[in-house]
Amino acid sequence: MNLTIEEVEQIKELLPILPETALHEVKDFIAYLIDREQRRKALEKRALKAEKETPLRFHAVEQAMKAIRNEAKA
C-alpha cells in the first residue's frame, strides 16, 4: 500500500491528539505490523528458495525414512 504524502501528514496531525496510553498502543501496533511484514517476507523468501530446489523422490517409504534418519544424524 502506497501512502501519499497527504495521508502521512494527516496521520502526523492526528497523533498529538491521542492520549499517551493510546500513543503507546499505536507504537506497539506499528512494531507488531513491522514484525509480521518481516516474517512474511522471510517466509516468502524461503518458499521461493524451496520451489527452486529439486524435489526428492523415493520409491518406497523405507527409503524416505532412511534419508530422514541420516539427515537427523548429520
Q: Mean pLDDT, consecutive 10-residue segments, the chain of 74 residues?
A: 86 95 96 98 96 89 91 73
pLDDT of residue 71: 80
Helix count and strand count (H, E) for the chain: 3, 0
Question: CB of 4 within 8 A of CB of 12?
Answer: no
Number of domains in the chain: 1
Range of the domain at 13: 5-73
Here the contacts of 1-8 (C-beta below 8 Å, separation 24 or greater) are none
> What does the alpha-carbon distance between residue 53 and residue 31 come to, in Å, rounded to a whole number?
33
